[in-house]
Chains A and B, each alone.
Chain A
Amino acid sequence: MRRSADDRVFRITTGMFAAIVLLLVIGIGFELWRQSMLSIDKFGFRFWTGRVWDPVSGEFGALPFIWGTLYSSFLALLLSTPIALGIAIYISELSPGMLRQPLAYLTELLAAIPSIVYGLWGVFVLTPIVRKLELLLPESLRRTPFFSGPPLGVGMGMAAIILSIMVIPFTSSVAREILKNVPIAQREAAYALGATRWEAIKVAIGFGKTGIIGAIMLGLGRALGETMAVTMVIGNNPQISPSLYAPQYTMAAVIANEFTEAADDLYLHALIEIGLLLFIITIFVNFISRFFIWTTKQRMVRPA
């Protein structure tokens, strides 16, 4: 009797602490929404499609920032995905057993380096290198819209490179875990049919496809919200351009730069509304990512 009473008290007390985590997620969403009401009421949908960001005249349109965030994340994934998957495949399928642990540890170290250190390195070391590369690009390519504008070093291309390096460890470690859990029978069956090593790996990738898409989306979630390093190298100029040379702006960067300067309530609420959108997008992306990873793992625990 005493025992079951103790059990109930234990369950409820610890459960209340656990509920705090849940309440935090709900609380963040609610508070951001409450503190952006002024901007939501005044601009409505126009906020997302407007291109003018003019705090002095009280006109706020967030499209350039949304474009910058989505475009830089897309480019970063374009660069990071093949590399991250290559790393995952090398470590889980190809590398000698002795190298496996150290390589996994080293690639994951990339995730431990603070964003501000990436930014510092980006500004002082990588920007001059990128600028030299930009100057070397043939004239014929420079005439396309993707490379128009003066080669400054800082800009969209530079931001995409830094972001891709920062995203690699997240994607590769989850993809590696998925590959590791693919049932050995899948590969053995492929080998038995005369497959080469790469063909057997393709079978394993096919089996864990959903989970690997989840791993890529986890990286996307990171890229969308990354602030400091991007703020330091993207150039902070609100314009919508496909050019990798053009200085542009992201949602996280405008919050970082302007939040403490927001003099009136409408300005503050407009910035918080950008934060709210960032919150919703990243939750959505993470939700799908976790769901994909989870279903893949379920399938691997009890293979068909």
Chain B
Amino acid sequence: MSNAWRRKIISAIAEGFCAIAVLLALIPLAMILFYVVKQGFTSLNWAFFTQMPKPVGEAGGGMANAIVGTLILIAIAALLAVPIGCICGIHLAEYPTSKFSSIVRFAADVLNGVPSIVVGMFAYIIAVLPVKRFSAFAGGLALAVLMLPTVVRTTEELLRLVPAGLREGALALGATRTSAVFTVIVPAALPGILTGVLVALARVAGETAPLLFTAFGNRFWSISLRQPIASLTQQVYLYANSAYDDWHRQAWAGAFLLVMIILTLSIIARLSVRRLERMNRP
């Protein structure tokens, strides 16, 4: 009898620990979001979006060049990674059991686990070292490599959600594989793939380490692909390490902007994936 009680008490304690574990993870999340909103939102102003950084020690100014820089960097990344990633995902979904597919799938998982700073080094060797100049292109290349595995795997997963009846219908009407894939199957999964791409973009927009020695950062206005370019994340890093209160304020504002972009995109993606799943339920 006492043994049964002991077992019940142990069970209750262990269950209690699990609930506490959830709280322990939610506390830092709440703290981070609280401080980012509290410090960041109050620091946002019109100048932050429209003005250039001021010289060292001078108050005021903004991150206009860094905001544009981040947009350019993720545009380059998307242009490189989306076509390759989507076609690769199509291949994996069309030939799911071939040996080649499982090797590629594995390679995508491995690539996903490579630290972003190492990918930055690779982009440096490929795109900076030969021309001896840091460039927006090199930064975009690093981000493209980082987002590629996510694009591949989401494309594959979403294509597999497309009901088999659609494909069979297309083939029965005499479509070739190419036209069945590109006119029927891909369009059916397109909203999902697009949101997957958005999530991948949001994730790489928050990357700093791979940009340190590829895009390098720039205090001046530049939109050239062959010149060093500023980015939000690197500007936040620079300002966080500085000794000026006004720069700390701007670092929080930059962090707020980043977190808002990422949260918005991930919520949109979540809602649309849920809608897609509901649509496909038999």
Contacts and interface: CB of A to CB of B under 8 A. Distances in A.
Partners in one complex: yes
Interface of A: 2-3, 6-7, 9-11, 13-15, 17-22, 24-25, 27-28, 31-32, 35, 82-87, 89-91, 93-94, 103, 105-107, 109-110, 112-121, 123-125, 165, 168-169, 172, 196-199, 201, 218, 221-222, 224-228, 232, 252, 255-256, 259-260, 272, 275, 278-279, 282-283, 285-287, 290
B88 interface: yes
A232 to B, nearest CB: 7
A117 B33 CA distance: 10
A93 B202 CA distance: 32
Given A18-B87, A21-B107, A82-B17, 8 more contacts: A17-B88, A112-B266, A114-B206, A114-B262, A227-B116, A228-B208, A259-B212, A290-B106
Contacts of A24: 107, 111, 145, 148
A83 B116 CA distance: 26
Nearest to A165: B28
A282 B107 CA distance: 13
Contacts of B32: 113, 117-118, 121
Contacts, number: 253
Given A3-B176, A32-B122, A286-B113, A21 B87 contact: no
A224 B115 CA distance: 8
- List 5 tightest A-B contacts by C-beta distance, closest first: A225-B115, A86-B21, A114-B206, A286-B113, A198-B11
B216 A260 contact: yes
B115 A116 contact: no
B270 interface: yes
B212 A226 contact: no
Nearest to A231: B209
B115 A123 contact: no
Contacts of B126: 31
A114 B146 CA distance: 14
B90 A14 contact: yes
Given A118-B32, A259-B212, A18 B206 contact: no
B31 A125 contact: yes
Given A113-B32, A116-B237, A226 B115 contact: yes
A21 B108 contact: yes
A119 B114 contact: no
Contact of A14 (B10, B19, B91): B91
